[in-house]
Amino acid sequence: MVSKQTPNPNLPRFLAGGGEVGQLLRAFDWSKSPLGEPDQWPQSLKTAVSIVLRSSYPMFIWWGPELINLHNDAYVPLMGHKHPAFLGKPANELWSEIWEESLLPMKTLVFEQQESIYGQDLMLLLERKEFPEEGYFNFSYSPIIDENGEVGGLFCACHEETDKVLQQRRLQTLNALTSQVLSAKTKVEVGRMAIDILGQNYKDIPFAAFYLIDPSGQEAHLIHCSGVRPDENPFEKTVSLADATTDEFWQLHTAVETGQPVRIQGVSKKIRMLVQSLTDRLPDSAYIVPVQKTGSGNKIGILVVGLNPHRNFDTDYQHFVEQIGTQIAITIDILVLHETEFNQAKWLAEIDRQAQLTIAHNRLKAEDHIRNVINQAPVGIAVLQGTHFVFEAANAAYLNLIGKSAEQTLGKTILEALPEVRDQGILELLIRVVETGEPFFGNEFAVALNRFGKTDIVYVNFVYQPLREADQSVSGIIVVANEVTELVKSKHATQESERQFRNLVIQSPIAMAIFRGTDLIIEIANETMLKTLWKRPFSEVQGKKLLEVFPELHDQPFPDLLANVFKTGQSCTEKEALAYVNTPEGMGKYYFDFEYAPLFESDASVSGIMVTVNDVTEKVEARNSIFEAEQRSRLAVEAAEMGTYDWDIEHGIFQYSERLVEIFGLAPNQPHQHAEFSGAIHPDDLPIRAKAHEEAFKTGRLYYEARLARPDHAVHWVRAIGKVIFDAQQKPVRLLGSAIDITQQVEARKNLEEIAEELEKRVTERTLELRNTNAELVRTNHELEQFAYIASHDLQEPLRKIQTFTELLTGSLHDEESSINLMSKISSSAQRMSDLIKDVLEYSRLSRTDELFIKTDLNLILANVKTDFELLIEQKNAVIIQDKLPILNAIPQQLNQLFSNLIGNSLKFSEKNPEIRISSTLLLPEEVRAMPNLQSDRPYVKLNFKDNGIGFEQQYAEQIFTIFHRLNGRKSYSGTGIGLALCKKIVENHQGLITAESELNKGASFTIYLPV
């Protein structure tokens, strides 16, 4: 904390103010710095330092070849522990860790090309703490032009946006969890999808893993992990939660036992390489979060999250990770239920005021000089005679002006006394006055004079007045001259200050504008204001009234705030102010941090207002979104209708929710003591409550179920869950708990027991009845004729062979080899008949219409079929290439048969190295309408099975779907001829279409159209 001090009148005025940094600058030993003493600094540097010190917006200057760093109080937080050690030190030492890669190229562009640079959300790793910290910044680098017209230094206005970037990044992850994981159908799928989403945010979550706890609570099974390489997976597939010796590093059992997150260190010993990371620096800590069922506190799983080595694990970070665990828990709860936000910158308008006061001061000074000429003539006066302009007289002020004595001047011509004025236009002016008889007035006339041992550029206001004789002829010239060198230099400095001030406004990365007069005439608006907020070119707003451009502000507080700044001369600052602004894109809702700073004239009156605005809409909306996400999570908990309480055991203070009052049947909207709640427990169950509390004061966990003795005499059951907090001496001091009415669950359990007993009785009776009842015949369908054909032909043929071969066997029993051959043929025929009968039965089953359509993942269907054919695929060296397949409303068993038949055919009808390609495409509406066999008002997916097998001639593309139709002999390729007929029947059952395309020896392609 810097104490207030009496200003030192010997210090330069530009170093006044500036808080702590200002005091450090004034106390700094500049004699040892390349900059030298402050009063010798260039005016451009003085002006820039004055602006920086008086601003509450983070700013710094790098000056000279050494790039000496000068900053203000607002920049200190961005430096961290590097302040104040690097004040007045070279910039490349201050930011050595990012100099070569990030800052040097931008500095070079500013100094060598005199260009300004603007950056937004630039990520930098700054060693301003004990580690390289990830930070994000908006900034503007601008050249400072010195008195020689060269770049003397660099000016930067900047702002840290790290909080905003982190909020947006983390909110994106939470939103993805909320919107995507809800589609999961199992706990395992929830874990996999959640970890995949976390893997996309590798900056906050370098690695992650999720374990599910089995129903016994004794083991945790790894479901999925991200960020780590598969060949270096540090996570055990199964962890025993009962044996701590098997889980010494990750401490999963500790998180489960305590129900609290655990932070562990030394992770870099386990994980030596990540799939993707911000830098080569590996995370050294992780956060183990128990995933608990809402309400009951039962442990569902365990979330392991690696922590960003470039960020502090602060409260926001911790809350983010725990929110992930809560979101996973809520998603699993829902699954089970279905199944059973800138520090605002301040620019000081004092610079403009000081500049204007300086102009007024110099103007008054010039007026005083003129008044003295008139009253006392202290100005330089000289008389030049003749055409050679000989000095006849010159007063002391004039001699002092030209730096000569009377002996060096009087009696000599002007070129003898002042030879340096030759070729400066002086002689020509004198001649013109003599020839024309007209006086000449020079204003701020620059002339080089050799005086006081050196050549000075002197600025002079003068009059060459013709000296007339009585006959009105001009005999000489009266010279009245006044040196105004300091005035001109001061004016130039003021103009330069004004120019730099305007440049700072124009080049600032923060939206800025200047309004003049009480009508708020728009004088200046920088590009940030025009493009980002107003969304208008400067030509549309320049010189116009603010309310003329933005009439919607009439009904908002901003015009009154601006008027008050004009009235009081006091700045106005607000944070996150809500504003409605009409842009070419329409009326928009915005949140702004802003400052209205008065601009003063020399008489201290307010002539204008400088407006600084920062759009924090994204930050506010991000914070609101996070709040809404938390509210949604809280609503999910409240949906369980739990009552909550907080019992301060040490001080006897009991706080509770209204839902708890409702559960215990107490009077609403009245104060209640702890004893009233405990007294509401049924007398017979009070021992249960007492034992549960006694155990909780030892273990820290409270759980019991008991009846309530409510005033309405209705039987109600309650389940109480809580966590005891202990002091340093392990004395219980606080109990946080919840209660839920489980009356319906208890009654449902009793009802289920009664129903089970009744069902057992009915099953016994039904079994007896079924023993005496004949089964009804299954209705037949139109394919009975085909079955008759089978019975009369295909089924009889293998039977005939069996008979024939049997007769032959009888006649050749003496020939053992022949008998074996005949027996083999009988077995083969019998097997074909068995296969045929099975396929016919399967075909007949497809005529049933009572099978349910359910959501069916074709990827799982394909995986099952590939497993069934695993040995054959390996034997035939087959390759199956697939797209990601859709989820359809279908009969899973039939689609499994469809995929099995098609893939089986591709494997069977191939000579070598089968290659099967399975693709999926969603048909466009116009494509559906172009196919008359499809319903034009339904969406369809197109599945294509393509192989490189023996194929067939296209003329048979329809016949192959006919039952028992074969294109190849049985000796070459086995089969019953029913497989493709089954495929067609399955597709028709799903209101779809199947077609085939092929060319002999060039493979076959089967296309299936199914409604989505």
CATH of the domain at 413: 3.30.450.20
Which phi and psi (to 5°) does residue 380 adopt?
Answer: -70, 125
pLDDT band at 639 (very low <50, low <70, confident <90, very high): low
CATH number at residue 880: 3.30.565.10
Q: Could you give the CA distance from residue 289 to residue 304 in angstroms, rounded to a whole number?
A: 6
The whole-number pLDDT of residue 640 equals 59
Concatenated DSSP letters for 824-861?
A: HHHHHHHHHHHHHHHHHHHHHHTT---PPPEEEEHHHH
The answer on 302 and 220 residing in a single domain is yes
Radius of gyration of the chain, Cα coordinates, nearest whole angstrom: 47
DSSP state of 540: G
Do you know the residue count of the chain?
1012
The predicted pLDDT at position 245 comes to 79
Does some domain include residue 634?
A: no
Residue 32 to residue 36: CA distance in whole angstroms? 7
Chain segment 66-98, per-residue pLDDT in tens: 999 999 998 999 898 899 999 999 999 999 988
Structure tokens at 860: 């799982």
* Position 634 confidence tier, pLDDT thresholds 50, 70, 90: low
Sign of CA dihedral 288, 704, 213, 178: negative
Q: Is residue 324 part of a domain?
A: yes
CB burial string 434-446: b at 16+ within 10 A, e below:
beeeeebebeebe
Least confident of 325-334, 351-360, 733-742: 351-360
Closest to 173 in 3D by CA, of 626, 573, 591: 626
Token pair listed for 558: 């901003």
Torsion 609-527-159-558 (CA) sign: positive
pLDDT digits (tens, 9 = 90+) for 679-719: 889 999 999 999 999 999 999 999 999 999 877 777 889 99
* 857 pLDDT more than 70: yes
pLDDT of residue 387: 87
Quick: pLDDT tens for 976-1006. 667 788 899 999 989 999 999 999 888 999 9
Residue at a domain's end among 314, 339, 364: 339
The model's pLDDT over 570-583, given as tens digits with 9 standing for 90+, comes to: 889 899 999 999 98
> Would the pLDDT of 966 be above 50?
yes
pLDDT 10s digits, 717-729: 999 999 998 887 8
- Contact predicate 606/617, CB 8 Å: no
Q: Tens of pLDDT along 789-801?
A: 554 455 556 656 6
Q: Which residue has the tokens 């003599």?
A: 434
Lowest mean per-residue pLDDT among 365-369, 476-480, 830-834, 945-949: 365-369
pLDDT at 500 over 90: no
Q: For residue 459, what are the CA distances in angstroms to 444, 482, 908?
A: 5, 9, 106
The answer to whether residues 137 and 161 touch, using CB atoms and an 8 Å cutoff, is yes
Q: Are residues 213 and 119 in the same domain?
A: no
887 near 855, Cβ under 8 Å? yes
Whether 704 and 593 share a structural domain: no
Q: Does residue 147 sit in the same domain as residue 194?
A: no
| Whether 185 and 111 share a structural domain | no
- CB distance 207 to 285 below 8 Å: no
CB neighbour burial string for 267-296, b if at least 16 within 10 angstroms, e if fewer: beebbeebeebbeeebbbbbbbbbbbbbbb
Are 525 and 468 members of one domain?
no
Average pLDDT over all residues of the chain: 83
- Coil vs helix vs strand at 649: coil
Q: Is 622 part of a structural domain of the chain?
A: no
Q: Is the pTM of this model over 0.85?
A: no
Residue 354 lies inside a defined structural domain of this protein: no
Inter-residue contact 1009 to 934 (CB < 8 Å): yes
Is residue 132 a contact partner of residue 98, using CB atoms and an 8 Å limit?
A: no
- Asked if residue 832 and residue 869 are part of one domain, the reply reads no
Scan for tokens 């066997």, then name that residue: 809
Task: Check whether 783 has a pLDDT greater than 80.
Answer: no
Residues 91 and 133 in one domain: yes
Q: Which of 441, 443, 465, 438 is nearest to 384 (CA)?
A: 465
The residue type found at 761 is K
For 309-318, 630-639, 912-921, which range has the lowest pLDDT when averaged over its residues? 630-639
Q: What is the pLDDT of residues 224-240, one digit of tens each?
A: 999 998 878 888 899 99
- Asked whether residue 467 carries a pLDDT value surpassing 80, the answer given is yes
Confidence grade of residue 779 (pLDDT, cut at 50, 70, 90): very low
Query: Before 84, cis peptide (omega within 30)?
Result: yes
Residue at 791 is within a domain = yes
- 829/862 same-domain check: no
Give the sign of the dihedral formed by CA 450, CA 453, CA 457, CA 463.
Answer: negative
Bridge-based pairing of strands 117-126 and 133-145 is antiparallel
Question: SS in 3 state form for 65-80?
Answer: CCCEEEECHHHHHHHH
Q: Kindly indicate the confidence band of residue 62, based on its pLDDT and cuts at 50, 70 and 90.
A: very high
Is 756 within the bounds of a domain? Answer: no
- Report the alpha-carbon distance of residue 593 to residue 614 in Å, rounded: 5
Residue 277 phi, psi (nearest 5)? -150, 160
The answer to whether the beta carbons of residues 725 and 732 sit under 8 Å apart is: yes
Looking at per-residue pLDDT, the higher value among 6 and 467 belongs to 467
In-domain check, residue 877? yes
Segment 544-562, tens digit of pLDDT: 999 999 999 998 999 999 9
Structural domain harbouring 998: 846-1011
- Please state the domain count of the chain: 7
Task: Give the Cα separation of 398 and 182 in Å (integer).
Answer: 93
* Residue among 906, 925, 924 at smallest CA distance from 916: 906
In a domain, residue 188? The reply is yes
Residue 58 near residue 508 (C-beta atoms within 8 A): no
Contact 44, 496 (CB under 8 A): yes
Does residue 882 sit in the same domain as residue 984? yes
Q: Is the dihedral of CA 367, 370, 375, 376 positive or negative?
A: positive
Lowest mean pLDDT among 334-343, 511-520, 933-942, 990-999: 334-343
Distance CA 188, CA 946 (A): 33
Locate all alpha helices (DSSP H) within 909-950, ordered by sequence.
Answer: 925-929
Q: Greater confidence, 230 or 834?
A: 230
Rounded Cα distance between 927 and 742, Å, is: 56
For 549-586, give one letter per residue: b (16+ CB within 10 A) or e.
ebeebeeeebeebbeebbeeeebbeeebbebebeeeee
Report the range of poorest mean pLDDT among 313-322, 776-785, 996-1005. Answer: 776-785
Instruction: Dump pLDDT digits (tens) for 424-466.
Output: 889 999 999 888 888 888 888 889 999 888 888 899 988 888 8
Q: What is the pLDDT of residue 799?
A: 58
> How many whole angstroms separate alpha carbon 794 and alpha carbon 970?
13
Q: How far is CA 20 from the centre of its chain?
A: 35
**Which residue, among 857, 838, 841, 945, has the nearest Cα to 899 in the 3D structure?**
945
Q: What does the pLDDT read at residue 356?
A: 45
Structure-token pair, residue 156: 């930067």
Residue 785 is predicted with a pLDDT of 47
DSSP for residue 34 = T
Please report the pLDDT score of residue 775 as a whole number: 42
- Beta-bridged to residue 643, according to DSSP, are 739
Same domain, 265 and 281: yes
Same domain, yes or no: 251 and 155: no
